[in-house]
A and B are shown apart, each in its own frame.
Chain A
Amino acid sequence: MGDIKTSVNLCGVELKNPVMTASGTFGSGAEYCEFTDLSKLGAVVTKGVANIPWEGNPTPRVAEVYGGMLNAVGLQNPGIDVFCERDIPFLRQYDTKIIVNVCGKSTQDYLEVVERLSDEPVDMLEINISCPNVKEGGIAFGQDPKLVEAITSDIKKIAKQPVIMKLSPNVTDITEMARAAEAAGADCLSLINTLTGMKIDINRRSFVLANKTGGMSGPAIHPIAVRMVYQVAQAVKLPLIGMGGILTAEDAIEMILAGATAVSVGTANFIDPRATEKIIDGIKAYMRKYQVKDIKELIGAVR
């Protein structure tokens, strides 16, 4: 069965298959390597990292909702120095691509991290301009096309690796943000980040999350993500990484048919630590069943 080709090319980076992890759900892989072989993954997308350590939000940081979950972790991270010393060497042990998710409160914060990573052996950068859980930065950069354009072009001026801009679904028209990022020179887009939600505990008459609001993920948001990937695929020429509620190979294939070159698996990792591997196997099974020789035949095949 060596005749099927699952590799995809993402702005010059060759992934052995289109399945990667979604930032924030997989750490840097250390907690998952006990369950799944990281070398089987197309890429590992790390938890967002900032120029300095961030403490994150108060707890409770997560809440389950019908068919999904809310999180307001608030981008807790050890800072770029510890990340470079510990997490990059850890990931280099595996035969997978490394995509570092970069977060910041100001343009300067993002640029510091991007600059620091310029000499590091990482394959791509994913710029988080869509986190709904931090007060400054994050989503503020992702909800105005002028700001998307400005931060994308600032980052592109200094980045040594291909730049993925991660888009927020919490906008009126996501294609506007996608076009802005493309115009400013982004190499790739990833979408969608979480949808802002809220859960109230009716017994305590209070918010479940300490942050009041949180980002919704999980299978309940998958149709929204598929729709947005499809819309963006029609609006820009850039390759797309589709994510949002992918639990199964079927979900991943839907996303690819809608126009994604690669897919990220997030919340599914919490439900099954081997989810990524199972999705890769499922994609291969689908390709054999329908005699798809090269996965590229599926990308954006539904118009």
Chain B
Amino acid sequence: MKAKFEEMAVVLSQKKIAADIYDLTIQTKDIAAHAKAGQFLSLYCKDGTKLLPRPISLCEIDRTKGTLRLVYRVTGENTGTEEFSRMAAGDTIRVLGPLGNGFALGEKKAFLIGGGIGIPPMLQLAKELNCEKTAVLGYRDEVFLLDDFKEVCSTVIATEDGSAGTKGNVIDAIKAHNLEADVIYACGPTPMLRALKAYAQENDMECYISMEERMACGIGACLACVCKTKEKDHHTNVHNKRICKEGPVFDAKEVEL
């Protein structure tokens, strides 16, 4: 069965929800119906000088309506994400997806940990995980998507500047609230993932992390977005796995950070 679809998606709505953070909902034909939490889309720019698709994670999936919610960061002036941020209801955008493996749903008591622009994909996972769960969200300063998480599960936050929640990072927030769990699902910057991998090891927890790297094709052909792995990968036959294909979600034990 066909697993990936290239489509012209229609923008249903878009709004800015924090500095440089945009909240976009698109109507798809087939993608949403096949999508899983933790997967991503390739979004193509209309500006022909910007060749490569932008990988954007799925924040929410409505399989019945066929809609996808994407919450993304504009990375600067004259970037592809800035082009996306100017789209309004009725506009169309070429997309390819769903891509990557997504999170495997378990039943163990879980932490859903998001850092910065790694927070959005944890929302769909929070909605789908049928277990005891706490979302732990780390922000630099400005908070976003917090109410959405509070609707689905208990949520604690940390901010680097201490303006909301625990001052510090996500591990500081876990400690401040005396929280415990058996499994970690996480997405965020590499230093955070590295710290969580160590934290999980110390506390004998399972840990699944969603990784990020500069991509080109998004479908596993170009070998741009690889990560180092402990064991030799069956496909590449070297100590590399493709983040866009075998990932972006990996068992933290498999990858070297």
| Chain B CB within 8 A of A91 CB | no
Given contacts A62-B214, A71-B216, contact A271 B226 (CB under 8 A): no
Q: Are A218 and B227 in contact (CB under 8 A)?
A: no
Contact A55 B52 (CB under 8 A): no
Q: Is the CB of B3 within 8 A of A34?
A: yes
Residue in B4, B51, B215, B225 whose CB lies within 8 Å of A271: B51
Using CB atoms, name the residue of chain A closest to B227: A59
Tell whether, in the assembled complex, residue B221 and residue A62 are in contact, meaning their CB atoms are under 8 Å apart.
no
Q: Which of B149-174 contact A (CB under 8 A)?
A: none
Q: Which residues in chain B, 205-238, are within 8 Å of chain A measured between CB atoms?
A: 213-227, 235-238
Count contacts between A and B, CB distance < 8 Å.
108
Task: Give the complex CA separation of A246 and B53 in angstroms.
Answer: 17
Contact of A76 among B217, B226, B227 (CB under 8 A): B226
Say whether A31 contacts B217, CB under 8 Å.
yes
B46 contacts partner chain A, Cβ-Cβ < 8 Å? no
Does A56 contact B223, Cβ atoms closer than 8 Å?
yes
A269 neighbours in B (Cβ, 8 Å): 217, 221
Q: List the B side residues contacting A267 at CB < 8 Å.
A: 51
Q: Decide if the interface of chain B is mainly helix, strand, loop or mixed.
A: loop
| Cβ-based interface call for A290 (8 A) | no
Complex-state Cα separation, A59 to B226, whole angstroms: 7
For residue A25, which residue of chain B has the nearest CB?
Answer: B222
CB 8 Å contact bits of A4-44 with B (1 = contact, 0 = none): 00000000000000000000111100011011000000000
Contacts A32-B221, A61-B214, A71-B216 given; does A56 touch B3 at CB 8 Å: no
Distance to closest chain A CB from B191 (angstroms): 15
On chain A, the residues within 8 Å of B240 by CB distance are 55-56, 76
Contacts of A272 in B (CB 8 A): 6
Is A64 located at the chain interface by the 8 A CB criterion? Answer: yes
Interface contact A76-B51, CB-CB below 8 Å: no
Contacts of B52 in A (CB 8 A): 62, 64, 69, 270-271
CB B34 to nearest CB in A, in angstroms, measures 13
Cα–Cα, bound, A100→B52 (Å): 26
Q: Give CA–CA (A62, B225) in the complex, Å.
A: 8
- Give 1 or 0 for each of B122-136: 1 = CB within 8 Å of chain A CB: 000000000000000
B178 contacts partner chain A, Cβ-Cβ < 8 Å: no
* Smallest CB separation, A235 vs chain B (Å): 31
Given A34-B2, A62-B214, A63-B214, residue A26 in contact with residue B238 (CB < 8 A): no
A to B CB contacts below 8 Å, 12 in the list: A25-B222, A59-B227, A61-B223, A62-B224, A67-B51, A73-B223, A73-B224, A78-B238, A79-B237, A267-B51, A270-B52, A271-B53
Q: Knowing that A55-B238, A62-B224, A79-B237 are A-B contacts, what are 14 other residue pairs whose CB atoms are under 8 Å apart, sorted by A's residue number?
A: A31-B245, A34-B2, A56-B226, A61-B223, A62-B216, A67-B51, A68-B51, A71-B224, A73-B222, A76-B238, A78-B235, A78-B236, A271-B53, A272-B6
The 8 closest A-B pairs by CB, nearest first: A78-B237, A31-B221, A62-B224, A27-B221, A60-B214, A31-B220, A61-B224, A270-B217
